[in-house]
Structure 1
Amino acid sequence: MPHERTRAVIQTREFLVELSREDSLPERVRRDARFLLRHFPAERDVLLAGQIEEQSQTLPIGVLGPIFSSSISHSAL
């Protein structure tokens, strides 16, 4: 579901931020987390993408429907 995918992407970013700051982890792990974060979407970007997808019924977004949601909860749909 789009809201579950949205929540997962947001939580994954938060997890990568935690990993990048955890001094008890090897430097390689922290460096890899920082590298991945360079191009990982921020929460506002994911929510905006969901909002655009929800509001643009006429745009061809594929046979799967919306990818993201403007909310991380099901009730907002």
Structure 2
Amino acid sequence: MTMPNERSRAVVMTRDFLVALSRDSSLPEKIRHDAKFLLRHYPTLDDVILAGKIEEQSNYLLPLQGPVFSSSLK
């Protein structure tokens, strides 16, 4: 089972990967364009941390599931 901090870290690392793809001039333009397109709506580190904080403080919203994200990537 994936823990909230592992999920948060994976989302942040995926964003970093997409940024790297979008800037790699050795890749085809289509790949770079698609990475940029996906990044337009992809959460930032701050978004993930904020979502984690909100979920951790709002236990009553998802009492059976628990938080999806974590305010810590550790």
TM-score, length basis structure 1? 0.88
Question: What does 1:1-77 correspond to in 2, within 5 Å?
Answer: 1-58=3-60, 60-61=61-62, 63-73=64-74
Percent identical: 61
Give distance in 1, aligned partners of 2:6 and 2:73: 6
Give distance in 2, aligned partners of 1:41 and 1:7: 12
Moved over 6 A (4+): none
Give distance in 1, aligned partners of 2:35 and 2:63: 31
Call closer, same or farther: CA 1:62–1:25 in 2, change over 3 Å: farther
Deviations 1:9-52, CA, capped at 9 Å, x for gaps: 00000000000000000000000000000000010000000001
One-letter identity of the residue aligned with 2:62: I
**Is there any run of 5+ residues in structure 1 with no aligned partner, and where?**
none
Task: Give aligned pairs, total.
Answer: 72
CA-atom RMSD in angstroms: 1.0
**Is there any run of 5+ residues in structure 2 with no aligned partner, and where?**
none
